Structure 1
Amino acid sequence: MTFSLLGRCIRTGHFGAVATTSGLSIGARVPFLQAGTGGVLTQHRTDPRLGPRGVELLRSGCSAAETIAALAASTPDIGWRQLAAIDAAGRTAFFHGARVKPAHNHAQGADCVAIGNILASDQVPQRMVEAFVAEPEAPLGDRLIAALRAGEAAGGEGRPLVSAALLIVGTESFPYADLRVDRDADPIETLASLWAEYAPQADDYVLRAVDPMRFSPV
């Protein structure tokens, strides 16, 4: 009952993830990213421990495919898990355990991968990827929001969504953006509004942290 996407902006080198579900607190449980490294999605009977483990494998030099293979080989109850990864080169990989409930599917595109489970349509991930790659020069956050909207338009989960999250990492150890919506009647559109408000300020928040003397608020 989750659909999500990992993507890379080839122009900036930033990595991003979006996810939504009918459960609470998806931003704390599903997307895990590290600047310059890539990231992992972990969902369906979600085991959040797999996110940091996957990121560490990527950081050690494993490709996305090697990371997913290592997680699958070393994780008890892997049959319940659904995973995706993107590495520093933009390569992607995914895994569906034998117990992941239908409809479930994946899709891969240039510098992106989408996965979903307990979906109203198995076309949801493909539509998310199509939306993400449609405007490669657009800001990464805009492309991530477009992917979520496309997934919902394709049928989504088929039940009311209540939480959504957008996570972006840039060049620093802290997130470029980490926006979360919980217990909301329309979490995707609320998330889109949050991103539209935050995006013009995002660079300033980084500058405040790394070079406060240069930050000059209007």
Structure 2
Amino acid sequence: MTFSIVGYCPIEKEWGIAVQSKFLAVGAVVPFAKAGVGAVATQSYANTTYGPRALDLFAEGKTAEEALQIITGDDQDHHLRQVGLIDAHGNAASFTGEGCYHWAGGVTGSHFATQGNILVDERTVEAMASIFTNSEGSLAERLLAALFAGQEAGGDSRGQQSAALLVVKEKGGYAGFNDRYIDLRVDDHPEPIKELIRIYQLQQLFFAPTKPENIVSIAGHVKEELTLNLDRLGYLSKELDLLQALKTYIHTENFENREQAAGYIDLDILAYMKKQG
């Protein structure tokens, strides 16, 4: 009752998984990934040892296909399992046991593997493969586009409940301390993929680097709009001038990653501020 895609970006050296299921908190079960090593999606009576075991095998130099043969060969219930893998070099492999509930299967291609079980039909994995192959953008955006296309093509025959997105890259996590570049989950929602996309957009707003063209001087109409909105939101006072009020707002709303030199602002912050009630 799950469909997923694992993918790799050779340019940015990113590995990732996107998954949806009629299952509570699927992100706690299916996705495993490590920067420089690979990514795994384990599902259908999920054997969660497949994730760390495959990553260890990748670290030893095994390919996706070699790791797949080992982890399924060691599992007496492999006929019930489904798994997709991407190794350190972007090679893909997918496995669907003969005991998985119909419809079940997968598609592999350049730098991706998509798989699903208890689906309406094969169009879900085919749509995911097509969109991932033909879309542009970051790995996260392509994975989400593929997941959305899979749902639109039919998806899980039992419906929707949870979704998750995990993307890793070396020093990609918060402040560069780990590899969890993007780690988002929707544990229980009537439209989890749409909600996951919304949360991803928020994640980009708060943590993606500022675009150089969005850095502008606080002057003219920008200063007028900033003053109006900081006052409207209660940040301006006799004790705080405009720049002090902006700094307080930025730190209150967790926009530290987009804070600019004194006298400048990221226009994305101003746009977000204008939308607030």
TM-score (normalised: structure 2): 0.72
In 2: Cα distance, 1:198 partner to 1:8 partner: 20
Alpha-carbon offset, residue 201 of structure 1: 3.5
Alignment of 1:175-186 (within 5 A): 175-186=180-191
Which secondary structure does the structure 1 equivalent of 2:141 belong to?
Answer: helix
In 1: Cα distance, 2:146 partner to 2:3 partner: 10
- Summarize deviations over 1:180-207 as a string: whole Å, max 9, x none: 0011010000000011111244356xxx
Gaps of 5+ in 2: 172-177, 210-256, 261-277
Which secondary structure does the structure 1 equivalent of 2:53 belong to?
Answer: helix
- Opposite residue 140 of structure 1, the aligned amino acid is L
In 2: Cα distance, 1:189 partner to 1:165 partner: 11
Alignment of 1:114-193 (within 5 A): 114-136=114-136, 138-172=137-171, 173-193=178-198
Alpha-carbon offset, residue 216 of structure 1: 7.1
**Counterpart residue number, 1:198:** 203
Residue pair 2:13, 2:169 contacting (<8 A) in 1 also: yes
Change (3 A) 1:168 1:53: same
- Summarize deviations over 1:8-52 as a string: whole Å, max 9, x none: 112201111100001111111001000011111110011212111
- Opposite residue 31 of structure 1, the aligned amino acid is P
- Summarize deviations over 1:88-139 as a string: whole Å, max 9, x none: 1111111111211110111112211100001001121111011112124x11
In 2: Cα distance, 1:149 partner to 1:89 partner: 26
In 1: Cα distance, 2:195 partner to 2:107 partner: 25
1:52 matched to 2:94:
no
Change (3 A) 1:200 1:109: farther
Q: Radius of gyration: which is bigger?
A: 2
Which secondary structure does the structure 1 equivalent of 2:39 belong to?
Answer: strand
Which secondary structure does the structure 1 equivalent of 2:48 belong to?
Answer: coil
Q: Which has the higher contact order (CA 8 A, sep 6+)?
A: 1
Alignment of 1:3-22 (within 5 A): 3-22=3-22
| Identity score, percent | 34
Alignment: residue pair count: 208
Which secondary structure does the structure 2 equivalent of 1:145 belong to?
Answer: helix
Gaps of 5+ in 1: 205-214
> Which has the larger share of helix?
2
TM-score (normalised: structure 1): 0.90
In 2: Cα distance, 1:134 partner to 1:217 partner: 35
Q: Considering only aligned residues, what root-mean-square deviation do their CA atoms show, in Å?
A: 1.6
Residue pair 2:94, 2:108 contacting (<8 A) in 1 also: no
